Amino acid sequence: MQTDPNCIFCKIVAGQIPSFKLTEDAATLAFMDINPANEGHCLVIAKPHHPTLYDMPPELLAAVSVTALKVAKAVNAALKPDGLNLVQSNGPGAAQSVPHFHVHVLPRRLGDKLPLNWELKPGDRAAIAATAERIKAKL
């Protein structure tokens, strides 16, 4: 499998750094974002290291989409947001901060005024862990 020893998401895939894991299969992994833009913000990544969409094998993109659908439904069932965005960013102009392909599953609340390029602010770890349990209960 393609991997990059300096990549934070490759380290999460390898279990070298911890994450609040939601679900995984052979090709994909879903876990909570530690800088949540909103409660329930999570990420679905491809396990192999591909920096951007342009590098992704189509069948791996399909596998990430299947997991994103599953996680989005669980987030919707667990948190009942007013809406939900799937966001996928490529390159500095799109504010991509981790060059390992991933999709944000981003619950939305009416009036949250979240911009497309939101600011990264650390979340409360205990609150993130508790939200992860609520989402996992719907997976």
- Burial (CB < 10 A; 0-12, 13-18, 19+), residue 53, is middle
Tell me the closest approach of the beta carbon of residue 53 to ligand 5GP, in angstroms: 11
Backbone φ, ψ for residue 79 (5° rounding): -110, -15
d(CA 100, CA 55): 10
Tell me the closest approach of the beta carbon of residue 101 to Zn ion, in angstroms: 8
DSSP state for residue 101 in the 8-state scheme: -
41, 49, 102, 104: the active-site residue: 102
Strands 83-87 and 102-108: antiparallel
Residue choice 22, 28, 31, 132 for contact with ligand 5GP (CB under 6 A): 31
Lay out the site mask for ligand 5GP across 99-118 (x = CB under 6 A, - = otherwise): --------------------
Kindly list the residues in this chain that would bind ligand 5GP in the complex (CB under 6 A).
8, 19, 31-35, 43, 89, 95-98, 120
Catalytic residues: 102
